[in-house]
């Protein structure tokens, strides 16, 4: 297992378009998280899945954002009708029950640029 994998690594889109990102967590990890990071800031929590259930959502996750984790494996984050303010690095992380979810492994992120 090579760790948390995110695709694509970079995405440039026009304002108003929809985009979808994918995250493949470490295979034995049942917990999956999405964060957003803008320049000069720390990661901001977006949402959390335990297996296929989405258990927490931040108020940052507007109705244009939706995340899924079918079958409790990979996850997708979709942004509809993108806005310039959505430009950021989107980070995915996973963790396992062996640490009670207290040690998260992060992917390299998907950098979104909305033009």
Partner 1 sequence: AQSVAQPEDQVNVAEGNPLTVKCTYSVSGNPYLFWYVQYPNRGLQFLLKYITGDNLVKGSYGFEAEFNKSQTSFHLKKPSALVSDSALYFCAVRVPSGGYQKVTFGIGTKLQVIP
Residues that bind partner 1 (CB under 8 A): 3-4, 31, 33, 35, 40-45, 48, 55-56, 58, 91, 93, 101-109
**Closest CB 60 distance from partner 1, rounded Å:** 11
Q: Choose between 32 and 82: whose C-beta lies nearer to partner 1.
A: 32
29/4 Cα distance (integer angstroms) = 10
**Closest CB 58 distance from partner 1, rounded Å:** 7
**Closest CB 21 distance from partner 1, rounded Å:** 14
- Is the four-CA dihedral 7, 80, 50, 106 of positive or negative sign? positive
Q: Choose between 37 and 76: whose C-beta lies nearer to partner 1.
A: 37
Burial 58-77 (b: 16+ CB within 10 A, else e): eeebeeebbbebeeeebbeb
Q: Choose between 79 and 109: whose C-beta lies nearer to partner 1.
A: 109
28/77 Cα distance (integer angstroms) = 21
Q: Choose between 66 and 111: whose C-beta lies nearer to partner 1.
A: 111
């Amino acid at each position: 297992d090579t760790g948390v994998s995110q695709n694509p690594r970079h995405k440039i889109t026009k304002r108003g378009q929809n985009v979808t990102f994918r995250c493949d967590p470490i295979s034995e990890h049942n917990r999956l998280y999405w964060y957003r990071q803008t320049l000069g800031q720390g990661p901001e929590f977006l949402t959390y899945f335990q297996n296929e259930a989405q258990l927490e959502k931040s108020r940052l996750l507007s109705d244009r954002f939706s995340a899924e984790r079918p079958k409790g494996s990979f996850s997708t984050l979709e942004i509809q009708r993108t806005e310039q303010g959505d430009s950021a690095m989107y980070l995915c992380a996973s963790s396992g029950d062996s640490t009670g979810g207290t040690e998260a492994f992060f992917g390299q992120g998907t950098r979104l640029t909305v033009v």
